[in-house]
Structure 1
Amino acid sequence: MDNLQEMSDVLRRVSLISITKPDGLVDKLSKDKHKPKDTLYMVHTLSLLFGALNMLPLTFFITANDYWMYKFRDTTKDTIDLNNKTTLEKYFVSGSLVVQTIPSIATMLLAVTFGHRFKIQPRVIISLTSINIIFVVFTAFIKVNTDTWQVTFFVLTLLGMALITGAINLFQVTSTVIISKFPPVYMKTFLFGQGMASIFNATLQIISLALGTSTETSALFYFIAGTLVIFLTWVLYLLVQHMTFYKYYMQIELEDKKKNHSKEDIKAAFFRIWPCLATMCLIFLSMSLTHPCITTLVVSENYGNGNKWNDMYFVPTITFLFTESCSQFGRLLSRPIITKSSGPWIVGFVILRMIVLVPLVWFCNAQPRSHLPVLLPHDWQYILVLVLYFVTSGFIINASILSIPRLAKEKVDVAYLLLLSTIGVAAGVSSPASLLAVRIL
């Protein structure tokens, strides 16, 4: 429980989602005129990379859609036909979301319960090394012909994603604790890195497709770049261990006394912030039903006509880069709008949003399909649906988080613990819905 309370302190004190002024540690540091400087902004750079690596590895796998369609294609045909996907092509994304469930929940619980018993440095080194090794292995698989054992490779890929999920959850808890010990600007950089990870992945995927002469060449460039980012983060972390600036802040203890949260505290916090928790659950459920399990199946209305934009760049540009940009725009627009009186109405709006927008995504040109008709066949219709879907989701997610301090008041610590638990459980429980959504098509 000590580590749970430490995570609560981290979120309350130094993240962007808090509307209270940081005290104690920040005041002490601001008054210290002799604190060392961040030479060459190395720790600042590390904060950005730490934030990116909270999201980058898993989204890296999902964003490489063109490569996975090639690996799991119908090998009896000379070309990939996205209008007639194989079973492995069709269920790869939804299957990857499902296999992340158990390791995600299990590792998060272990990390927050027993993580405080282990030193921070080994936890970072082990998690980063594990992620890097898995990336190296799958980079090597690019040059291996897996056509005769596609099902085995499919299982190995999902197993690798499950292992990465566990390593990432360990890294997320540890990296957040590390960055929280530095001034608030470092946490801002950390969260900015989280938000930009998916945009970076999508942009890199587009560049790799533009530079590569074949699917394998593009994938090789893409995965090597990802491996290098992880490796450079690992090296930079080892280097900053010797910096006076890093040692100075890491040796300062958080001054807040840790409190034990009773059942009454948890119950009181829950009833205060239930609208925020409900909106987060609904957002994760709607995501499981649409993105990326369905959106990666959507093809351009002019697919197959020989145009590179329609055949090669449509999915990475529209389904990934454009959607993440819309989500970021929605986050920038968000405000702490949820109050005790408006909470039920906002939850009702989120339910209505899900009822309307989820089917709209299903009715876009996702292929193949056996049951539902394509009612929105045009690219502009799909893009309009994505704008409505992702701008609102980004807005709602940030608005829910920003509203917690005002709603929770003196119960803000336990409120953030409830938020973390809700996000983890909601993501895990709702992931099987992605398989159902693909089946419904």
Structure 2
Amino acid sequence: MHVKCSKDYFESYFSIASAVPSVPCLILNFFLVNRVSSKVRILSSLVVILLVFVLTTVLVKVDTSAWTKEFFVLTLSCVVILSGAANILAASIFGITGQFPMKNSQALVSGQAMGGIVSALAAILDLSVASNVTDSALAYFLTAVIFTIICIIVYLILPRMEYSRYYLSISNDKPSSSSLETAAAGDNHSSLNSNSPPIGPILRKVSMLATCLFYTFFITIIIFPTISASIESVNSKSGSIWTTKYFTPITCFLIYNFSDFCGRQITAWIQSPGPKSKILPTLVFLRTLFIPLFMFCNYQPRKHIDKVFFQSDVYPVLFIALLGLSNGYLGTLSMIYGPKVVPKELAEGTAIIMSFFLGLGLAVGSAFSSLAQLI
């Protein structure tokens, strides 16, 4: 019974294990902003990620058939550690990028989506040509190890570039007293000389944007991948290679990640609605409608809703494309606006706070995704 339950809720376990640690790690990262340099936070996170991937790569060749339950717990533990390190890494990088022009922040979030496309294409390629699951897993994790090492090398090169030195030197200059006094006005518990950025003034500036960011990813993680990956082709009984082998990898993962990338990339040319517009939160909250739309597709197994309203494979493809496009566009706008509506000296702290709300949305959404499976 336990094995069956684990199998049925496999995606939910992994969603929760990857999302929940993000909240405490992002809180920790915020209070470390002025205590531990971004270089230390980024490099230490990359090293932890590298070690976890090395361990996972080694475990690929270990026979775990005699201790599957323990291996599952170990795997979830690795996911937790990996998620925590990745969140500190991402928030720290967002913090640094907040000191650069907006186009750099946009490029960063677009690059994240590009990673999703690459992984989706790799999964499809693996389905097409791979004959051994173990060898495929080994290739995946070795690739992760190599790319993590490349990231460490590239980050060490970054401070040597004239472009990055220019913007980082501006942020390291002593801020003017007038701008700092304005930022801290009304916050009796914040001190500009404290070891962490003033939370109150930042939240007053970005509360609406932070809420939009939270809710965007809250809705997305409820649906993707827990619900969307459980949608089967309405022609699954035909036995065709499309409906049995490629339907989920293409419709769920590839189309979502490509649409998400497109949505993020569009923000490089179109940045509307603006950070103070009421249209932005309206569009964000309208995404709630995606939940019933996906549930009315051929979601399996169905427990209480027997009728499938959308009797065509076109609908889940359309819905997942719109989900990814709206997530990429609205999430990116909310993210890149945040550090730009506060004084420059608070940009790093603001970017980390925005990352916190993103992680909070993922954590809460992953918990709700488990409840959605009971419908």
Residues in 1 aligned to 2:15 and 2:251: alpha-carbon distance in whole angstroms: 20
* Residue correspondences, number: 353
Partner of 1:158: 76
Q: 2:250 aligns with which of 302, 312, 317?
A: 317
| Gapped regions of structure 1 (runs ≥ 5) | 1-72, 75-85
Task: Indicate how the Cα distance of structure 1 residues 197 and 276 shifts in structure 2: closer, same or farther if over 3 A, else same.
Answer: same
Residues in 2 aligned to 1:181 and 1:346: alpha-carbon distance in whole angstroms: 24
* In the alignment, structure 1 residue 383 sits paired with structure 2 residue 305: no
Task: Indicate how the Cα distance of structure 1 residues 318 and 90 shifts in structure 2: closer, same or farther if over 3 A, else same.
Answer: same
- Give the TM-score, by structure 2 length: 0.77
Residues in 2 aligned to 1:350 and 1:121: alpha-carbon distance in whole angstroms: 34
Offset at residue 106 of structure 1 (A): 1.8
Residues in 1 aligned to 2:43 and 2:284: alpha-carbon distance in whole angstroms: 40
Offset at residue 184 of structure 1 (A): 7.7
Task: Indicate how the Cα distance of structure 1 residues 275 and 386 shifts in structure 2: closer, same or farther if over 3 A, else same.
Answer: same
Offset at residue 426 of structure 1 (A): 2.9
* In the alignment, structure 1 residue 396 sits paired with structure 2 residue 330: yes
Partner of 1:297: 230
Q: 8 Å contact 1:181–1:249 — kept in the other structure? A: no
Task: Indicate how the Cα distance of structure 1 residues 252 and 279 shifts in structure 2: closer, same or farther if over 3 A, else same.
Answer: closer
Residues in 1 aligned to 2:274 and 2:161: alpha-carbon distance in whole angstroms: 43
* In the alignment, structure 1 residue 262 sits paired with structure 2 residue 195: no
Code of the aligned partner of 2:244: D
Task: Indicate how the Cα distance of structure 1 residues 102 and 406 shifts in structure 2: closer, same or farther if over 3 A, else same.
Answer: closer
Q: Secondary structure at the match of 1:144?
A: coil
Q: Secondary structure at the match of 1:432?
A: helix
Partner of 1:213: 131
Residues in 2 aligned to 1:391 and 1:247: alpha-carbon distance in whole angstroms: 30
Task: Indicate how the Cα distance of structure 1 residues 407 and 181 shifts in structure 2: closer, same or farther if over 3 A, else same.
Answer: closer
Offset at residue 189 of structure 1 (A): 4.7
For each residue in 1:155-198, what CA deviation from the matched residue of structure 2 results, as whole angstroms up to 9, or x when unmatched? 22111110001211232244445667788876665444223111
Q: 2:305 aligns with which of 336, 349, 372?
A: 372
For each residue in 1:98-135, what CA deviation from the matched residue of structure 2 results, as whole angstroms up to 9, or x when unmatched? 22344312222222212543455544443222212211
Q: 8 Å contact 1:139–1:220 — kept in the other structure? A: yes
* In the alignment, structure 1 residue 337 sits paired with structure 2 residue 273: yes
Residues in 2 aligned to 1:185 and 1:270: alpha-carbon distance in whole angstroms: 23
Partner of 2:148: 230
Residues 124-273 of structure 1 correspond to what in structure 2 (within 5 A)? Answer: 124-176=42-94, 189-237=107-155, 240=157, 252=169, 254-255=172-173, 257=175, 259=180, 261-262=183-184, 264=186, 270=203, 273=206
Q: 2:210 aligns with which of 277, 288, 291?
A: 277
Code of the aligned partner of 2:284: V
Task: Indicate how the Cα distance of structure 1 residues 434 and 263 shifts in structure 2: closer, same or farther if over 3 A, else same.
Answer: farther
Partner of 1:89: 7
Of structures 1 and 2, the one with the larger relative CO (CA 8 A, separation 6+) is 2
Residues in 1 aligned to 2:338 and 2:325: alpha-carbon distance in whole angstroms: 21
Partner of 1:426: 361
Q: 8 Å contact 2:27–2:356 — kept in the other structure? A: no
Residues in 2 aligned to 1:350 and 1:182: alpha-carbon distance in whole angstroms: 26
Offset at residue 290 of structure 1 (A): 0.8
Q: 1:353 aligns with which of 287, 294, 297?
A: 287
Partner of 1:36: none
Q: 8 Å contact 1:328–1:391 — kept in the other structure? A: yes
Q: 8 Å contact 1:290–1:362 — kept in the other structure? A: no
Residues in 1 aligned to 2:206 and 2:234: alpha-carbon distance in whole angstroms: 44
Task: Indicate how the Cα distance of structure 1 residues 420 and 256 shifts in structure 2: closer, same or farther if over 3 A, else same.
Answer: farther
Q: 8 Å contact 2:297–2:316 — kept in the other structure? A: yes
| Gapped regions of structure 2 (runs ≥ 5) | 188-198
Q: Secondary structure at the match of 2:373?
A: helix
Task: Indicate how the Cα distance of structure 1 residues 220 and 281 shifts in structure 2: closer, same or farther if over 3 A, else same.
Answer: same
Residues in 1 aligned to 2:219 and 2:237: alpha-carbon distance in whole angstroms: 30
Q: Which moved more, 1:154-163 or 1:370-379?
A: 370-379
Code of the aligned partner of 1:439: L
